[in-house]
A and B are shown apart, each in its own frame.
Chain A
Amino acid sequence: MCKISKNKTTMKKILLLISILFIWNSSFSQKAPGYMGKRFVPSYSFGFAPTIFNPKNNGEKGIFNFNLFHQIKLDYVTSRKSSFGIGYETYSTGVDYDNGYDNYISDVRIYFSGYGILNVKGFQLYKSFYRSGIAPMGKKHSVGIKVLFSSTDFENVDARINKSNSYSYYSTTSYEIKKGGTSKDFGLTYGYSSSRIIFDKLVLSFGFDVNLIYSAHFKYLHAYLNGSEYNSDATLIDQTEEEYLNDKAKQRVFSSQLLMIKIGIGFLAY
């Protein structure tokens, strides 16, 4: 009950923030030409990022393998040189656990021979500034905030637990993960893209996003500053299995969000 009430408060805050930004931006609306008078652009973007450090959701990794992203955005032109937008994104990516979970205090080790699948859903709020061209056409810089909700599917992870038994020797058994692998993250987003309009209707865009996911980023920073408390993969030495999996999810969210190249298509609604 308490959790539901907390979620409602968060939603109210987000709605309030959107309303304030919308009203503030609308103060310029009288002089905003848009494109031939059209200022509202719903769009879909397809993003991809190379899987250099982590696998994609089928476990493949390499130069020519890409994590794929899907974004739906609503942009509203607020002045000659700016627009305001909200977006929803979803993607799934692989999480690997190279070192495994190793808790010396509890004397438990979990090995992962497979990979987890991280499912991410996110919302963003941003403002775009058109460096050349008149909104919604031309080259633009976008800055905004992002909230991401992620959870891990452990179906392919193939975990095995290594635990000491009463006869002081270790046994390794198959292990089903029941908790962990979720993350709620907040971050800043920056994008640079170029938009063109064809047939006076369709908006095509190409560009890239750089996202700094604050909570995950903070973990890395903390690990860097307090090395003795962390394993080599920036997970805490004495954390629980659930915390370890959550941290792994967070790390993956951070790395998957860092850079993505986007191709988008939208239409001039009105």
Chain B
Amino acid sequence: MRFSLAICFLLSFQLNGQDVSNFDGLKSAGEVPEEFNILSSEKVKQEKESISNNGNRMDRKSTERFILESHYFIDKVLSNGAILYNEKLCQYVSKVADELLKDDLELRKKLRFYIIKSQSVNAFATDRGSIFLTVGLLAQLENEAQLAFILSHEIVHYKNSHSRTGYVENERIERGDGKYQRENWNKELNKNKYSKELELEADIEGLTYYLKSNYCLEELNSVFYILQYAHIPIDDVTFDTNYFNDTHFTLSSEYFNKELSPIEAIDDEDDQYLTHPNINKRRSVVSSEIEGKSNEGRLKFINSEKEFNDVRLLARFELSYLFTKDRMYAESIYNSYLLLKDNPTNKFLKTNIAYCLYALAKYKNEGRIYKVLTDYDKIQGQSQQVHYLFEKIEGKTLNTLVVKYLWELKQEFKDDEFIATIAKDALHELILESGARKLDYKKVFPTNEDENVSEKNSSNLSKYDKIISKSESPENESAYAFVKLFQDGEFNDLINKYEKEYVEKVKNGDEDEEEMSERKKNKIGRALGIDKVVMVSPNYKRIDLRKKINEQYEFSESRKEDFIEINEKCAKKTDVELKTISNTYFESTEKYNDMSLLNDWMSERFDHHNVHIYPYCKLFTDDLAKKYNTNYFGWTGMYSLRARKNKWGLIAVSVAIYGIGIPMGIYYAVTPENHTFYYTYLVDITNYDFLMAKEDYVKMKDYDDLMKSYIYDTYNQIKTKRDN
């Protein structure tokens, strides 16, 4: 019995922990789907050929516009790296879709399922058979049957071309065609009304697929709860107010809220301005459709429940990553806190909490905590406690907590470079930014005698001494936080070093040399002395307001290739070794995953703006630096705008000037207004500073020579070594 229990325990640990014990973010797998590597223009061309020439000319035009815009939009979504394909979540969703469409294999073949790396709860279908579900949605599901209904709904959206008909109908409403000629006083209301009709159609028709399968009917009611409570975390468990405490470090009870806001469902009763019908209406429509149908023999799980739980657990782990990347630190701490209950030793979750604390301290010290912390009044349920804590906690105490938590974690995971880096930075922040001094922290714990004496003495304290003593309590709560850490030689050395740095800083005042502004650097140029760079997702976009939108899209697509080619040429000429991770063609899934991670890094870095903080994504991208054998990664692109000139008064004046005015006036009249914006951001992926934030704007067309000139300049600055 004992033996079998041990086996069960080991097995369950292995099964439960096989994917999350070394969790390092979800990644796409297998072959790159074909649609990723076909140009949008080709897709548009193919689909346009299939449009019938019959019917209303205006509707045909609308359809053509829809085809164009939707293909370019979907391809943009696919190519920005925020999509997961062929990995466990997608595979599982596909299996459920197989079950639903086992009698309609033709339709099944046309569908592809992708997961969007987003914490929001959402799903949508496109007209070309790509169906997207968010990580947030999968993390909130309770069973497979719920997923089956959501998929049924989305499949109907595809099958009935809802996105296309919705687009065409919206244009009819805009034009006031047909039945909208009279009743079109509020176009938005009409659009929303039509959209709601399509949603109800998807619910009702989706039931046909659902009912053909063997999924449980009861879950058709509970699935709507997911929508109603999408704003609540994956669970609602009391946050332990002693979670960060130990024997000699206790957070004041003032930092915790005694009365938490109750959870309320999303109120969407008045749905006239919503694109979806209100949830209760949808629930009652679905209920009436299944009335009288037997639930006998129907199941919550057709695939195994364990598989569902594994997939959902992965989604929930990914949620912590997504929350942190999106700087929703309190949400992330609560999510990881919930997951730690079943995975108490999980390094990813502990690191995630550590990073969130570190980031919160950084933002608190900068006085910008409001940027990353939702007002606790707007949060419902138990997670409100976490928001309340970080809103109320004093900066110095938070910094102390961060250093304590991070250095203890550093001791636990000695070889982890990421933890070590942010632990050192947190200590630096504590001494140089939070106002704490080394002397504020005791090196030995109080003896019992001291405590007794202090207790005895406290009885002899005057009224005012007691008041002062109480008011000083937040400082006292941190006094013994580092007693154990002071025994760590590295900690001791660093705190002494930072203390000295602080003293020097105070002595010298603000005499530090001001760093050269980005504007000046852009003007005179930089000398970075870098030999190898990786350019991620080079981008090019031309907007020509004088031309048709399809011409603009097609031109942008082909010109982007020129842009990449010129980058390669200029890098070669300047002797910079360049590796390009293009988002037009993906050689392999490995490249796609790399691009995805790097784009996450950059997006997070941009969000941090002026806060000097290591991005969380560094945890995952440090390996890429080793893989590509360089720390230097860049993002570059060019945007060009052309439009007709509207300053005709100037032309008149110009023409009026004798001689010179006439040709100048003609030149002005026949040439468009041109604006070109070129950017390159170059970073050391293992750090946080921008080595180059090159932004150039010129009132010129993006001619080849202009493109080459700016791109060559970029690589010249990258390669040039600084004068000694």
Contacts and interface: CB of A to CB of B under 8 A. Distances in A.
Interface string A158-197: 0000000000000000000000000000000000000011
A52 B658 CA distance: 10
B332 to A, nearest CB: 43
A52 B660 CA distance: 12
Given A30-B723, A31-B716, A35-B709, A196 B525 contact: no
Contacts of A261: 660
A133 interface: yes
A33 B713 contact: yes
Interface string B691-724: 0000000111001011011101100110010010
A138 B698 contact: yes
Interface string B46-73: 0000000000000000000000000000
Contacts, number: 71
B705 A132 contact: no
Contact of B700 (A63, A133, A197): A133
B574 interface: yes
B723 A133 contact: no
B516 to A, nearest CB: 13
A137 B706 contact: yes
Contacts of B699: 132
Chain A's interface size range is 20 to 34
Interface in B651-665: 658-660
B705 A197 contact: yes
Contacts of A139: 700
A1 interface: no
Contacts of B703: 196
Given A132-B698, A134-B710, A261-B660, A36 B573 contact: yes
A31 B574 contact: no
A198 interface: yes
Contacts of B709: 33, 35-36, 133-134, 137-138, 197
Nearest to A28: B524
Interface in A191-215: 196-198, 200
Interface string B634-669: 000000000000000000000000111000000000
Contacts of A141: none
A265 to B, nearest CB: 14
B705 A137 contact: yes
Interface in B487-529: 523-527
A139 B700 CA distance: 9
B116 interface: no
B379 interface: no
A79 B717 CA distance: 12
A80 B705 contact: no
Nearest to A261: B660
A73 interface: no
A200 B573 CA distance: 13
Determine which residue in A32, A37, A50, A134 has the highest number of CB atoms from chain B within 10 A of its CB, and name it. A134
A133 B703 CA distance: 11
Contact of B524 (A35, A80, A137, A197): A80
Interface string A21-44: 000000010111101110000000
B207 interface: no
A81 interface: yes
